[in-house]
Amino acid sequence: MRYVLKKACVFVATLLVISVFVFLAFQIIPGDPTTRMLGTQATPEKVEALREELGLNAPPVLRYFRWLKGFVTGDFGMSYSYNMPVNELLSGKLGITAALTVLSFIMVVLISFPLGILLARFAHSLTDRLFMLFNQIVMSIPPFFVGIIFTYIFGLVLKLFTPGEFIHHADDSAGFWGYLFFPALAIALPKSAMVVKILRSSMVSQLQEDYVRTAFSRGNSHWRVLRMHVLRNAIIPVVTFLAVTLVDIFAASIIIEQVFAIPGLGRLLLGSITGRDLPVVQTIIMIIAVIVITVNFIADISYKYIDPRIRFR
């Protein structure tokens, strides 16, 4: 329990440090939002009035705390280009990206665990070697290119879905998940290849241990040894990697959204970056930071439950 508390303190401290960095980074960007918002109608008086209205004239420290308070309470400020509150822009978009990430993560687990165990069972055979080479090739294809290949094969040639025609969850729930299937698979394939590789090598190295010989000598079948003994020990590094993978999938989904025209967080982020809509960019970056740090925090804590041998100070 003390360990969890200590980790929780570090978690909050990291978030605060990152919030300071994010705030500072957006302070040094040249350009004044008022010139953009007012456009050709900018007069010195109007600029000054708008600066006052946006709270840009307050000292930086005060503005930081205002921004932080706003972020915690869910008031993310106003978007410069859409002239609407950022949280209205975000509502719904975060859910779509989260759905895509979770779907893809489930696929990674479903694909990689059976394959990894199977390959460990037949390690060093010809099939294993050939598959590992294939695995390496799959690992090297960028997710967005897998997405493009899928769009071509399943969208344009086989017409299993219509590229670019996103179906919202409110309109058609089944259609929504159906549309997300191929984007999720496009992210999941290269990531699964990585998990397969790690799970396989982790299991193969565990197979050399003495306890495996003991388990065999007690008359356990090969599969039983793998499942009951080896997998339990081999899974620890894999869980570490799965935490990294979850964050990577989230990042990849932001890119994949471009390929499949999914109106999620990624499209909003990119649109705001090219449009220099800083409050939106700032908010999305902070949300991403919160997600990344939370995932790592949960992974840190979960080790204890997966591997009771790990002692924490």
- Residues engaged in binding other proteins (CB under 8 A): 14, 17-18, 25-26, 28-29, 123-124, 136-137, 139-142, 144-145, 148-149, 151-152, 156, 198, 201-202, 204-205, 207-208, 237-238, 240-241, 244, 247-248, 250-252, 254-255, 258-259, 269-270, 273-274, 281, 285, 288-289, 292-293, 296
What is the closest distance, in whole angstroms, from the C-beta atom of residue 273 to other proteins in the complex?
4
Whether 108 and 244 have beta carbons less than 8 Å apart is answered as no
| Closer residue to other proteins (CB): 34 or 151 | 151
Minimum separation from the CB atom of position 163 to other proteins (A): 8
3-state secondary structure of 85: strand
Please report how close the Cβ of residue 116 comes to other proteins at its closest, in angstroms.
Answer: 12
Q: Which is nearer to other proteins, 17 or 49 (CB)?
A: 17
Closest distance of CB 43 from other proteins, Å: 28
Which residue's CB is nearer to other proteins, number 47 or number 295?
295
Contact assessment for residue 259 and residue 147, using Cβ atoms and an 8 Å cutoff: yes
Please enumerate in sequence order all residues whose Cβ is within 8 A of that of 100, keeping only pairs 6 or more positions apart, or say none.
Answer: 180, 183, 184, 187, 253, 256, 257, 262, 264
Task: Give the whole-angstrom CA distance, residue 259 versus residue 210.
Answer: 49
Residue 177 vs 300, nearer CB to other proteins: 300
Both tokens of residue 309?
A: 């041998």
Would you say 47 or 292 has its CB closer to other proteins?
292
Map 137-187 to HEC letters.
HHHHCCHHHHHHHHHHHHHHHCCCCCCCCCCCCCCCHHHHHHHHHHHHHHH
Q: Are 287 and 22 in contact (CB under 8 A)?
A: no
Residue 28 has phi, psi (to 5 degrees) of -85, -5
Task: Write down the least CB distance from residue 278 to other proteins, Å.
Answer: 8
Q: How far is the CB of 74 from other proteins (least distance, A)?
A: 22
- Of 3 and 177, nearer to other proteins (C-beta) is 3
